[in-house]
Amino acid sequence: MAAMVLPILHSIVAVLTSKTRGDGTREPLGLDIPKQAYLTLKKDFDEENGGFSLAPNFPPPMGLEFLLRYFHRTQDEKASEMVEVTLEKMAKGGIYDQIGGGFHRYATDNNWLVPHFEKMLYDNALLSRVYLHAYLVTDKQLFRCVAEVTIDYVLREMTAPGGGFFSTQDKRTENYITGRFG
């Protein structure tokens, strides 16, 4: 039995540790993939507003988590700077609900000021995590506060009465329709 399974395991490992070229052949994954990802984020980084794209501006929690890990591994200050600028701009912008807490799905502008009035559970979970990790790296109280307020928002507004969580809160929610934000 082991003689049958071992070749299959080897072929699975070969696929998982290689990438496919355009012609269908495979080549081993290089050890420089994290550096390539970092350089791509660095090239796309908006120095003025934070983030990595033009409007609509979606929060990039996974990219920011990667940059925090990259900084931890390499001590490349630019990686930490990109995280800090982006998180500060988001926290001070309209994408972050300054009254009720939590993050809206995206900003319709490059400055993170004009939100799309919808809040997603996964965005708020991932963003509270990245703000907490950034606080642990930088000791910036703003990041700690945003993480705490975001978690409080999720527990207050997105927890279902019977247990579990709601996946979204959109602009048709009573508070948004009546203008009672918070």
Domain that holds residue 6: 1-30
> Rounded to an integer, what distance in angstroms lies between the CA atom of residue 6 and that of residue 27?
21
Q: What pLDDT, in 10s, does the model give residues 123-154?
A: 999 999 999 999 999 999 999 999 999 999 99
Q: Are residues 134 and 76 in the same domain?
A: yes
Residues 25 and 36 in one domain: no
Question: What is the rounded CA–CA span in Å between residue 152 and residue 76?
Answer: 33
Do 83 and 163 belong to one domain?
yes
CATH number of the CATH domain containing 78: 1.50.10.10
Phi, psi dihedrals of residue 114, rounded to the nearest 5°: -100, 110
Question: Domain check: are 25 and 37 in the same one?
Answer: no
Q: Phi first, then psi: give them for residue 171, nearest 5 degrees.
A: -70, -10
Whether residues 19 and 37 share a domain: the answer is no
The answer to whether residues 143 and 131 touch, using CB atoms and an 8 Å cutoff, is yes
Cis bond before residue 59 (omega within 30° of 0):
no
pTM: 0.80
Shared-domain flag, residues 64 and 148 = yes
Look at residue 170 in the predicted model and tell me its pLDDT.
84
Residues 125 and 172 placed together within one structural domain of the fold: yes
> Looking at the structure, do residues 98 and 173 belong to the same domain, yes or no?
yes
User: Residue 182: pLDDT band by 50, 70, 90 thresholds?
Assistant: very low
Render pLDDT for 37-51 as a digit per residue (tens, 0 to 9). 999 999 999 999 999
